[in-house]
A and B are shown apart, each in its own frame.
Chain A
Amino acid sequence: MNRREWGRRLLGAALLAYTALAQATETPVWALDEPMPLRARYLLVGPDGGAVSDEDFRGRFQLITFGYTFCPDICPTTLLDMAEALRQLDGLPVQGLFVTVDPQRDTREVLKTYTAYFDPRILGLGGSPELVARAAANFRVRYARVETGPDPENYAVDHAAGLYLLDKDGLFLRKFAYGTPPAQIAAEIRAYASGE
């Protein structure tokens, strides 16, 4: 090996190191108060007791919200708006999903009756507290059980509100803030559907 060969190797090593360094600095570093990237995956229990995952709805848009049935107006408003958006999108493949953040009280039966009131096409998903926690963590949805009154059974669950839209491949498209009019949600889903 001559000096020239050595020089080439050194340069190669330096380039490799430089590339590695560049990649390292490109790797996003999430500050604590910055939202973590969203991973739109879930494995939960559906109305019939079987497993339901994000992969079950390939070929359909998914409109997902997290909440609990004890909630007197935030969650009902969100579901009412979801139902109205679905109605306006009639004919487009869109799956509405309600994921409970209160699996202890929101049993399958409770969820089934609850979602049917808004639209029988909306599926209520729950499962073990661990499954729910994992799904919520993937969506960066925070929730916390809080006792509000003298009866510990009548607790509230603080939770992030809003609707999450996934595309037909299950990839996260965007979040709609709580209070977004259903006409706007429907218009945006229609735009995504025509642009694909």
Chain B
Amino acid sequence: MRLRHLILSLLLALPLLAWAADGTATITADAPYVRQPPPSARAAGAFMTLRNTGQTALRLVAASTPAAGTAELHTHHEEDGMMKMRRVEAIDIPAGGEAVLRPGGLHVMLIDLHAPLAEGDSVPLTLHFDGGASLRVDAPVRRQIPTADHAPRH
């Protein structure tokens, strides 16, 4: 009885985590892109807005891509007059909320790129969520533009 209950909860929990009952995804990655790195750079940052339309909080715990040796979840913050980049264990996306991955902050760090990334290339990313659900994202490579006038300072 206990085992059956456990199996049942597991079966139910998995799809519920990322998919609503009607089969539509409760997590989306909006406007994903990879910032084009200079040709000799070993790493690149991937950015996007993760939206959770479900009623359960989600945690992004890992990312993977065939385009690079490693993908890590990172953040940036300013401290002691220095810009610091750090790995984070997870990125939380609250129920009905979002997590914004943007330059100067959270990003998926692609390390040891297998080939230089050209503008217009598409980088396939798989985002892995706590509980086993995953989301496939195609992130186009974009060349960044300079800071605009009146841009907010970090």
A residues with CB within 8 A of B: 69-74, 76-77, 80-81, 83-84, 105, 109-114, 117-118, 142-144, 146, 148-149, 151, 154, 156, 158-161, 177-184
Cβ < 8 Å to A, chain B residues 95-144: 103-104, 107, 109, 111-112, 144
Q: How far is the CB of A65 from chain B (nearest CB, A)?
A: 12
Asked whether B82 lies within 8 Å of A72 as measured between CB atoms, the reply is no
The 8 closest A-B pairs by CB, nearest first: A72-B45, A117-B38, A113-B40, A84-B146, A73-B103, A179-B153, A156-B85, A158-B82
| B59 contacts A by Cβ under 8 Å | no
Contact partner of A160 (CB less than 8 A), chosen from B45, B83, B86, B152, is B83
Contact partners of B147 in chain A: CB under 8 A: 77, 80-81, 84, 179-182
Asked whether A73 lies within 8 Å of B104 as measured between CB atoms, the reply is yes
Asked whether B44 lies within 8 Å of A72 as measured between CB atoms, the reply is yes
Asked whether A148 lies within 8 Å of B85 as measured between CB atoms, the reply is yes
Q: How far is the CB of A132 from chain B (nearest CB, A)?
A: 16
Cβ < 8 Å to A, chain B residues 38-87: 38-45, 70, 72, 74, 76, 78, 80-87
B80 nearest in chain A by CB position: A142
B38 nearest in chain A by CB position: A117
Contact partners of B45 in chain A: CB under 8 A: 72-73
Contact partners of A111 in chain B: CB under 8 A: 40
Asked whether B149 lies within 8 Å of A184 as measured between CB atoms, the reply is yes
Asked whether B39 lies within 8 Å of A117 as measured between CB atoms, the reply is yes
B46 nearest in chain A by CB position: A72
B residues with CB within 8 A of A: 35, 37-45, 70, 72, 74, 76, 78, 80-87, 103-104, 107, 109, 111-112, 144-154
Complex: A149 Cα to B63 Cα, angstroms:
14
Asked whether A143 lies within 8 Å of B82 as measured between CB atoms, the reply is yes
**Chain A binding surface SS class:** mixed
B47 nearest in chain A by CB position: A73
* A-B CB contact pairs (8 Å), 10 listed: A69-B42, A72-B37, A72-B45, A72-B107, A74-B104, A76-B35, A80-B147, A149-B72, A151-B70, A183-B149
Contact partners of A180 in chain B: CB under 8 A: 147, 153
Complex: A135 Cα to B147 Cα, angstroms:
27
Contact partners of B148 in chain A: CB under 8 A: 181
Contact partners of A160 in chain B: CB under 8 A: 81-83
Q: How far is the CB of A13 from chain B (nearest CB, A)?
A: 46
Q: A177-B153, A181-B147 are in contact. Are A74 and B76 (CB under 8 A)?
A: yes
Asked whether A148 lies within 8 Å of B86 as measured between CB atoms, the reply is yes
Given contacts A74-B83, A80-B145, 6 further A-B contacts (CB under 8 A): A73-B104, A114-B39, A156-B85, A156-B86, A161-B82, A179-B153
Complex: A70 Cα to B41 Cα, angstroms:
6
Asked whether B40 lies within 8 Å of A77 as measured between CB atoms, the reply is no
Contact partners of A148 in chain B: CB under 8 A: 72, 74, 85-87
Contact partners of B152 in chain A: CB under 8 A: 179
